[in-house]
Structure 1
Amino acid sequence: MQQTPQRTWLGALCVISAALFWGTLGPIMHILQRDTALTAIDISFLRALMGGLTLLVVARVWRPSWLHVARRDLPFFAAYGFLSVAAFFVLYATSVHINPVPVAVVLLYTAPAFVAVASWRLFGEPMSRAKVAALVFVLLGSTLVAGLWSATARHVTLLGLLVGVGSAATYATLGLFGRVALRRYEATTAMMFAFLFGALFLTPIVARDAPAILAAFRTHGVLILIMGLIPTAASYVLYTLGLKWLLPGQASILATIEPVVGTVLAWLWLGQRIDALQILGGVCILGSVLILQRDIETTAEAA
């Protein structure tokens, strides 16, 4: 779809809204891991399952035609669910487990660089100076927000590095698959099938934890439903919808406001401390968004 100033603003609004919703995930996961016997991968499975079922209900009630895809496209959606949901969720959960959390976060937010290169090669998305500057600000800001300077962040193994980069690479596939899926399907349909396939791939991994999962539903069922709705179903659909009007590289940079939102919410909800360097990192990330938004407007006006 051709970019225009009005459409790019709509796309940016969708992606930024998605990032705001994603920012609620950290505090929710913290509560679930603190109060239940769920592992990070159990929570990832519940995200995929509840996100897929939520969108299934939405499609059934709102537009039943969204429930159907062509049989020939099922392998595409299986790959979408495997890479963008199952593999990403597992790799990121593993990265957080074996790496210091600041390192896991910063490695994840190298994803915009993967997306920018892939989108340039696959979709002809231009690599402007403004976009390169935005990528630099994103990496710097993520480093500061995550607290990469701390002593605990210095203990990184080669395995941890590879897993962290793998989480970024699989996260990067979200925008690439989404861009292709939107050529034929609505965002709700695309993410519904991706989540359900992702949950299917994760089922063998979490099967032995079924008692813990059922117990968590009994005590924290409402929170699990909220997790499936806000930082999963709603956020991913909004992000994918934004790809109608933005290129994947643009969307991935805009979405990096998520760690800023997560840090602020952790401060508000959980009483976690924010220091001056984290605030500076947030300013860098917001600056990258402003740089990119101006570049998007310039590109749209020239189209």
Structure 2
Amino acid sequence: MSFSTPKNHNLNRGYTIALVSAATLSTTAIFVRHLTQTYQIPPLILAFWRDVFVVIALLPVLGLFKPALLKVKRQHLLYLIIYGLMLAIFNALWTMSVSLNGAAISNVLVYSSTGFTALLGWWLLNENLNWVKLLAVALSLAGSVLVSEALDPLAWRANITGIITGILSGLLYAIYSLMGRSASQRGLNPWSTLLFTFGFAAIFLLFFNLIPAGLLPGAAANPAELLWLGNNLAGWGFLLLLAAGPTVVGYGLYNVSLGYLPSSVANLILTLEPVFTVVVAYLLLDERLNCVQLGGGLMILIGVFILRIHESKLVNQSLPNPP
């Protein structure tokens, strides 16, 4: 006879939500790549409009179905503003990293966030960090390198600015993950958190784009460039899809998963994103996995599997023995 417990059920739910989040977020790079290559839109302008459209997409949905989520307590506003600032910096750095380094390098560097998150979670939030989790982190990071083909020397032909930008994007993503965990512990609803953080992030990114030309790479040279796409309806359509699809659903589900899982675990599961990206690229672009990429994907899956078994054992050990 098996015993289903609320704690174990929540753990299973957290893993499922995190996996769906990873699959959804995996399409983000496809949209960003299309927009930057087809329309040559500067990274910070793209990041700004992405955040704006996230708010535009969320407002009517929450207003119609959950109007109470459009409000937060005054005591949480400062935290959400800081959270939004971290998100704005991450979005700017990640979009710039894709532009400067290409998909392979930027993907690997942002997934250094797994290690950052585990260490910062242990340091700041007293989250457990044992050898099993460290092994899973190592497998996932190594697998991300292989899936992205970053061992190819040609892929590392990036300037020092690009490398630093990519590493910083990983660090900021780790901070975003930890702040999401903290927001959940504060009792903030994930969808309210998503709305307010992206709203504040859009304001910060607008400010970044209005800084005089030359001070921030990838920003608008003048206010008129904020309307970079002009009357190109197709370009605006892709921006809206980027916001309403992978961004709203992906980030929203990720925030929800943080209510069930430690941030390091949720972030580790998101290392499946490059695997999903390769699959989507194969289905849509007929790009095929080679043996190295298959090996990397397997390493990531093994890392997540090891962690899943370990966390389940910890849950079962914490339960009282049945009489």
Give how far 1:234 is off: 1.0
> Which structure dedicates a bigger proportion of its chain to helix?
1
Among 122, 127, 130, the residue aligned to 1:128:
130
Contact 1:53–1:192 (Cα < 8 Å) also in 2: no
Residue 301 (structure 2) pairs with residue 286 (structure 1): yes
Compared CA separation, residues 35 and 96, structure 1 to 2 (3 A): closer
* Matches of 1:269 and 1:276, distance apart in 2: 20
CA gap 1:3/1:115 in 2 versus in 1, 3 angstroms:
farther
Alpha carbons of 1:151 and 1:3: their partners in 2 closer, same or farther (altered >3 Å)?
A: farther
User: How much has 1:251 moved relative to structure 2?
Assistant: 0.4
In structure 1, the residue matched to 2:85 is: 82
**Residues 27, 96 of structure 1: CA spacing in aligned structure 2 closer, same or farther, 3 A cutoff?**
closer
Q: State how far apart, in whole Å, the 1-side matches of 2:183 and 2:6 are.
A: 18
- Quote the RMSD (CA, aligned, Å): 1.9
Instruction: Give the match's secondary structure for 1:274.
Output: coil
* SS of corresponding position for 1:215: coil
Q: Which one has a bigger Cα radius of gyration?
A: 2
Give the CA deviation at 1:37.
3.9
Partner of 1:225: 240
1: distance between equivalents of 2:151 and 2:203? 39
Distance 1:133 1:78 in 2: 35
Q: Which residue of 1 aligns with 2:201?
A: 198
| Deviation of 1:100 (Å) | 4.7
Q: Distance in 1 between matches of 2:296 and 2:163?
A: 22
The structure 1 residue matched to 2:231, chosen from 197, 215, 220, is: 215
Look up the match of 1:92.
Answer: 94
1:173 to 172, 175, 178: 175
Please tell me whether residue 6 in structure 1 is matched to residue 9 in structure 2: yes
1:10-69: CA deviations, max 9, x gaps?
Answer: 011111111110011122222223332423333222221111222222221111111111
Using CA pairs under 8 Å that are at least 6 residues apart, name the structure with larger relative contact order, 1 or 2.
1
Q: Could you tell me which amino acid in structure 1 is paired with residue 148 of structure 2?
A: A
Distance 2:162 2:34 in 1: 25
Please show how residues 203-282 of structure 1 align to structure 2 within 5 Å.
203-204=206-207, 205=209, 206=220, 207-216=223-232, 218-282=233-297
1:56 maps to amino acid? L
| TM-score of the superposed pair, with normalisation by structure 2 | 0.87
Asked whether the equivalents of residues 29 and 103 of structure 2 are also in contact (C-alpha less than 8 Å), the reply is no
Which stretch shifts more, 251-260 or 74-83? Answer: 74-83
Give the TM-score taking structure 1 as reference length: 0.92
Counterpart-to-counterpart distance in 2, 1:242 and 1:3: 16
Give the secondary-structure state (helix, strand or coil) at the position aligned to 2:127.
coil
Task: Give the distance between the partners of 2:64 and 2:255, measured in 1 at CA.
Answer: 21
Q: Which one of the candidate residues 153, 162, 172 is aligned to 1:151?
A: 153
AA aligned to 1:138 is S
Identity of aligned residues (%): 27
